[in-house]
């Protein structure tokens, strides 16, 4: 086999998303495990490996951080175990990630793939800097860095574009948030550095853009119109995270968890900082439900980034036709297309290719394609 790539999985990445933890670093991952949350990163790694069409040698850690998670997934892939952790190491740590990245780098690979979120990206960066091309398979609660592919299947296509010589390399941002501030409703991004990633459409290519100050009036105008003209009585509204949606809560005069998911009914707050279980419980009591969400600026994700509480099971109960997307003109100007990465390929497939109406101002909509 001519190509060798490395694969390192952070099996705990994203485990706190549906619990509304806003991050899975450190003790929060253990807390999620104790609450019975199931790891999602191994399945996302399998989706990546399953999509590979090139015959490859893949160097991967023994155990759940590599070989055990993706064995027998793709006959084109030959797995080469790397003894950088114990075969039964669990739960794994950031130190395990760093050690495995270093050992795989030292054995020589053309490119390194990692499965995780921004915390994992920081761990990878701390070891290799910009010395080795990388592709991130998104699996975290926080995925603000530009080193990630659009979804697991796109990661496989990005790897193949690079190995086939169809894509050069660009410097992509590694950023992360302060999780303590994040949980208190303050989004503060810090740039840690840059890693080399393939210059292909399968990569996110830009980090999340914070809302501009001149967009606040636009958001307030949308909120005024939506509350006075569009919101219906006897309908439960699930409010996604972000400043655009917070403007709606402000207009209603109710509290909003800036980076969480809340619910209102007839202008009254009936659910605050909800996790997946909390949303599903609420749905039992209401016949009419709609979800209000706003895309991530610069990236375009409407589902699967920062709002994992609105899970595939929640979406199946509500119905994708009851999703209302809102974006100010300033935010929409940073977005070429909308994206979804719910964790359920069947739901993603049902949404991709659709044109969806995006409310951009009072009485104004724009049709935007979901890619």
H helix intervals, the chain: 27-34, 41-51, 67-70, 94-107, 118-128, 152-163, 179-183, 216-225, 243-252, 276-283, 312-318, 329-332, 345-351
Among 301, 127, 145, 295, smallest CA distance to 136 is for 145
Please report, for the chain, the start and end positions of each structural domain, with discontinuous segments joined by +: 3-198, 213-369
Among 276, 195, 38, 10, smallest CA distance to 117 is for 10
Q: Does domain 3-198 have CATH number 2.60.120?
A: no
Q: What is the pTM of this model?
A: 0.82
The C-alpha atoms of residue 38 and residue 195 are separated, in whole angstroms, by: 30
> What share of residues in the chain are helix, strand, coil (percent, to 5)?
35, 25, 40
Angle at 76 between CA 73 and CA 78, to 5 degrees: 80
Residue 205: per-residue pLDDT: 72
The C-alpha atoms of residue 117 and residue 181 are separated, in whole angstroms, by: 18
SS3 for 166?
Answer: coil
| pLDDT tens digit at each of 371 positions of the chain | 589 999 999 999 888 767 666 555 666 677 777 878 788 999 999 999 999 999 999 999 999 999 999 999 999 999 999 999 999 888 999 999 999 999 999 999 999 999 999 999 999 999 999 999 999 999 987 788 999 999 999 999 999 999 999 999 999 999 987 766 665 666 677 899 999 999 999 998 765 555 454 578 999 999 999 999 999 999 999 999 988 999 999 999 999 998 899 999 999 999 999 999 999 999 999 999 999 999 987 789 999 988 889 999 999 999 999 999 999 998 888 888 999 999 999 999 999 999 999 999 999 999 999 99
pLDDT in tens, 75-121: 999 999 999 999 988 899 999 999 999 999 999 999 999 999 999 99
> How many helices (H) and strands (E) would you count in the chain?
13, 16
Burial class (CB in 10 A: 0-12, 13-18, 19+), 191: exposed
Residue 183 tokens, joined: 């949980």
pLDDT in tens, 168-183: 999 999 998 776 666 5
Q: Phi, psi (5° rounding) for residue 258?
A: -55, -45
Quickly count: other Cβ atoms within 10 Å of residue 364's Cβ: 12
Among 302, 292, 274, smallest CA distance to 225 is for 292
């Amino acid at each position: 086999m001519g190509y060798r790539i490395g694969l390192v999985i952070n099996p705990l990445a994203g485990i706190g998303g549906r619990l509304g933890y806003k991050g899975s670093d450190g003790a929060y991952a253990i807390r999620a495990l104790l609450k019975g949350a199931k790891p999602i990163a191994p399945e996302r790694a399998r989706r990546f490996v399953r999509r590979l069409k090139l015959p490859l040698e893949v160097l991967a850690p023994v155990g759940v951080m590599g070989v055990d998670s993706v064995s027998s997934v793709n006959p084109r892939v030959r797995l080469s175990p790397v003894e950088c952790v114990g075969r039964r190491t669990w739960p794994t740590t950031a130190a395990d990630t760093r050690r495995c990245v270093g050992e795989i780098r030292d054995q020589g690979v053309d490119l390194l793939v990692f499965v995780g979120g921004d915390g994992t990206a920081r761990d990878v960066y701390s070891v290799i800097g910009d010395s080795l091309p990388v592709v991130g398979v998104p699996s975290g609660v926080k995925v603000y860095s530009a080193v990630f592919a659009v979804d697991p299947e796109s990661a496989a296509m990005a790897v193949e574009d690079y190995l086939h010589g169809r894509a050069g390399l660009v410097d992509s941002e590694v950023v992360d948030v302060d999780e303590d501030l994040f949980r208190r409703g303050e989004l503060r991004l810090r740039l840690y550095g840059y890693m080399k990633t393939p210059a292909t459409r399968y990569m996110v290519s830009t980090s999340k853009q914070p809302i501009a100050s001149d967009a606040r009036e636009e958001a307030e105008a949308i909120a005024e119109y939506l509350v006075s003209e569009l919101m219906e009585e006897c309908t439960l509204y699930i409010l996604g995270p972000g400043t655009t949606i917070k403007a709606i809560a402000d207009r209603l005069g109710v509290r909003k968890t800036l980076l969480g998911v809340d619910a209102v009914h007839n202008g009254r707050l009936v659910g605050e900082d909800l996790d997946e279980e909390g949303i599903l419980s609420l749905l039992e009591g209401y016949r009419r439900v709609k979800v209000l969400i706003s895309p991530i600026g610069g990236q375009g994700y409407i589902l699967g980034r920062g709002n994992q509480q609105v899970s595939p099971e929640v979406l199946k109960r509500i119905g994708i036709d009851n999703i209302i997307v809102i974006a100010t003109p300033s935010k929409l100007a940073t977005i070429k297309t909308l994206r979804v990465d719910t964790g359920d390929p069947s739901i993603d497939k049902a949404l991709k290719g659709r044109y969806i109406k995006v409310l951009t101002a009072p009485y104004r909509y724009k049709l935007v394609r979901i890619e």
